[in-house]
Amino acid sequence: MMLRLKGLTAHLRGIAAGTAVVIASGLAGSVTEHHACATEPTAVGPLDSVPVPLPPDLDKFVANRNAAILLGKSLFWDMQAGSDGKTACATCHFHAGADHRTKNTIAPNGGGFRGANYRLKASDFPFHRLLDPTKQKGDDNPVIYDTSEIAGSQGVIERNFTGIVDGSPVDAGVTVPDTVFHIDGVNARQVTGRNTPSAINAVFNDRNFWDGRANRFFNCVNPFGDMDPDAQIWVSAKNKELARERILLDNASLASQAVGPPLSEVEMSWLGRTFPDLGRKMLPLRPLAQQFVHPEDSVLGPSANRKGLGLKSQIDYADLVRKSFRNRLWDSTELTPDGYTLMEQNFALFWGLSIMMYESTLVSDDSPFDRFMKGDNEALSLSAQQGFDIFMNQGRCSACHGGPEFTGAAISQLRGVLAEPGEAMIEFMPMQNGASAFYDGGFYNIGVRPTGEDLGVGGGHPVLGPWSLTRRAQQGRNPNLGNNGVFVSQGARVAVDGAFKTPGLRNVELTGPYMHNGGMRTLEEVVQFYARRADFFEENIDDLDPDVAGIGHVRGNQERVQSLVDFLKSLTDERVRYRRAPFDHPELLIPNGHTGVTDGLAVDDVVVIQAVGRNGGSPLKTFEESVP
């Protein structure tokens, strides 16, 4: 056994380094299916082998990076940012960077709806269910259950914004009757239309959100980057007079992503709030004033209030902005035409860049897989090594989940240090139906749901145009493709509808439920999906990725399914599981559905997430364990 293990170990490291690709080992068995694909599986490796990408001109805006990280972590975890004074960014990203709540997390997407406040149970999964999940769909293996619903994240109750209340974490607003999310006619918390991706390692993504609408360029105003020609900030120019300036910071899709939820009327905000409004509210407030901050927090600890909640009493957000950013971005006594101070007006810039700086520290590069790739032969079990072999060979999983980030949507592979000559952010390959088409690199239609239910990157903004780089190029909108631009003629075939960003697989054990719709509860269900082939194969055939035709080597073989699951679990960084630095955090009170209705209001069922310091705390549960 030891000789066989050593042989497989050497073989796997060769594959990971790109010296041997699509060569089946004798231990794992032979390839049983051939997939026509334009690209080979991509080499993988330890995550610290690629640089953490940040804007090259960041220091023109950020004066003190450590101060900006402290500001960003405070804003990310601060419940005061929500219009309700309860909803932070972390409310949907508290569990291995994702959401782990089980009650009031279902949203309709056409078809039926189980209603607000529903509590998920194991028998609800998967959302598309076959009589035998180990076999392909057919007359002898029918669909026994299907729902188009989404397992998303609960946000705020529907209200219209009417103003801030000085010194209060709760905004003024007027309730608008919600015809979807309600309990006996009383508004309940709304639920997002997609499953929440993890914020951990998201810094490596070229674009963010499932549909890629968080642009790689941060325009310091909204998520849409270079798509929005009117996005400008105000700066303090000569004699501290205000002037307009257009900014585009590259490698900053995390900043673009960060400025989306605070104004979303579903996620964090009453409808109609602006970023200057949010700035006016937050800047005078003491950071994290409603939450306990652990005195040994790896970032916030030295500033923690040792006698109560939040940071020290002399600290407010305006202080942190002054310490973090260049004076020209906040230092002026002149008001904007809308009556805001410069610091209030540019609050989107401070919010986006500081949260990006904080999230850039959330890199999980110490998993058993990382140690194995650095020479620790005992870091992976034999089963996990067999799963790794299948992942790289028969499964062709790394054709989409390649590179040290385990996603083809990473900067390093699309236009960075791992990009091969001639590779482009717009690519051309044969689709599942055999006809070649242009598509966005790192975004694929894998047939989890029918294409028409959610267009993903094939959708777009009603004014600014498509999210897809391919569609933008075809329409002559000239997306910035660097040196790898390709010409897409008006008559060329484009396959982007129903395609979603390939998520990274690191810590995937802890980030269920899975897929953009949250429709799978366990990693075993995910592996079975790929093994049998796409659930909506025929329905999506025109846009379907060529590598989701099934894995005959795995289909119906429980031992090989388990080997793939064991390999996926080897991508968990134990610092994430135990919330050790840099994954430690302040206290957080999260709404997990409602206990009922009192005096015409839905009462939150609140779960307290305890603060942990740099040494971490109790281990996180998997979604499978939480929904047994």
Peptide bond into 513 cis (omega under 30): yes
The reported pLDDT for the residue numbered 422 is 63
Q: Do domains 2-47+365-572 and 61-364+575-628 have the same CATH topology?
A: yes
pLDDT band at 379, cuts 50/70/90?
very high
Kindly state the tokens that stand for 593: 């559905």
Burial of 289 (0-12, 13-18, 19+ CB in 10 A): middle
pLDDT tens digits for range 556-612: 999 999 999 999 999 999 999 999 999 999 999 999 999 999 999 999 999 999 999
The reported pLDDT for the residue numbered 481 is 74
The reported pLDDT for the residue numbered 162 is 98
Interhelix angle for 523-532 vs 558-569, to 10°? Answer: 130
Considering only residues 485 and 388, tell me which one the structure prediction assigns the higher pLDDT. Answer: 388
The reported pLDDT for the residue numbered 450 is 98
- C-alpha to C-alpha distance for 270 and 452, rounded to whole angstroms: 29
Record: fold of 2-47+365-572: Cytochrome Bc1 Complex; Chain D, domain 2 (1.10.760)
Q: In this structure, are residues 38 and 63 in contact, taking their beta carbons and an 8 Å threshold?
A: no
With CA atoms as reference, report the closest residue to 387 among 561, 526, 553, 572: 561
Mean per-residue pLDDT, 451-470: 97
Q: In this structure, are residues 304 and 293 in contact, taking their beta carbons and an 8 Å threshold?
A: yes
The reported pLDDT for the residue numbered 483 is 54
In one-letter notation, the amino acid at residue 300 is L
Burial of 453 (0-12, 13-18, 19+ CB in 10 A): middle
| The pLDDT of residue 2 is above 70 | no
| The pLDDT of residue 404 is above 90 | yes
- Multiple choice CATH, 61-364+575-628, 3.40.30.10, 1.10.760.10, 1.20.1050.10, 1.10.260.40: 1.10.760.10
DSSP 68: H
The reported pLDDT for the residue numbered 458 is 98
- C-alpha to C-alpha distance for 520 and 127, rounded to whole angstroms: 7
Mean per-residue pLDDT, 504-533: 98
Backbone φ, ψ for residue 615 (5° rounding)? -85, 0
Using DSSP, state whether 503 is helix, strand or coil: coil
Count of CB atoms situated within 10 Å of the CB of 29: 17
Q: In this structure, are residues 501 and 207 in contact, taking their beta carbons and an 8 Å threshold?
A: yes
In one-letter notation, the amino acid at residue 136 is Q
| The pLDDT of residue 485 is above 80 | no
Q: Which residue has the tokens 């709760």?
A: 170
For the chain, the average pLDDT equals 93
Kindly state the tokens that stand for 568: 């996926």
The reported pLDDT for the residue numbered 33 is 34
Distance of CA 184 to CAs 104, 107, 116, 454, Å? 15, 17, 10, 29
- Across-strand partners of 608? 589
CA 234 to chain centre: 30
- How many residues comprise the chain? 628
| The pLDDT of residue 549 is above 90 | yes
| Residues of the chain above pLDDT 90, percent | 88
With CA atoms as reference, report the closest residue to 231 among 242, 223, 239: 223
| The pLDDT of residue 196 is above 60 | yes
pLDDT band at 38, cuts 50/70/90?
very low
Q: Which residue has the tokens 């849409």?
A: 224
| Residues of the chain above pLDDT 70, percent | 92
Mean per-residue pLDDT, 156-173: 97
Cα torsion angle, 177, 181, 183, 184, sign? positive
Biggest alpha carbon–alpha carbon distance for the chain: 78
pLDDT band at 479, cuts 50/70/90?
confident
Helix (H) or strand (E) holding 486: none
Lowest mean pLDDT among 28-32, 266-270, 393-397, 533-537: 28-32
* Alpha helix stretches (DSSP H) within 156-302: 253-258, 275-282
Burial of 41 (0-12, 13-18, 19+ CB in 10 A): buried
First to last CA, the chain: 35
User: Residue ranges per domain, the chain?
Assistant: 2-47+365-572, 61-364+575-628
The alpha carbon torsion through 526, 528, 529, 535 (nearest 10 deg) reads: -140
Mean per-residue pLDDT, 446-464: 97
pLDDT band at 11, cuts 50/70/90?
low
pLDDT band at 19, cuts 50/70/90?
very low
| The pLDDT of residue 17 is above 90 | no
The reported pLDDT for the residue numbered 112 is 87
Count of CB atoms situated within 10 Å of the CB of 59: 12
Count of CB atoms situated within 10 Å of the CB of 544: 26
| The pLDDT of residue 169 is above 90 | yes
The reported pLDDT for the residue numbered 392 is 96
pLDDT tens digits for range 79-90: 999 999 999 999
- C-alpha to C-alpha distance for 337 and 354, rounded to whole angstroms: 26
Mean per-residue pLDDT, 371-376: 97
Q: In this structure, are residues 402 and 582 in contact, taking their beta carbons and an 8 Å threshold?
A: no
The reported pLDDT for the residue numbered 210 is 98
- C-alpha to C-alpha distance for 478 and 439, rounded to whole angstroms: 15
The reported pLDDT for the residue numbered 98 is 98
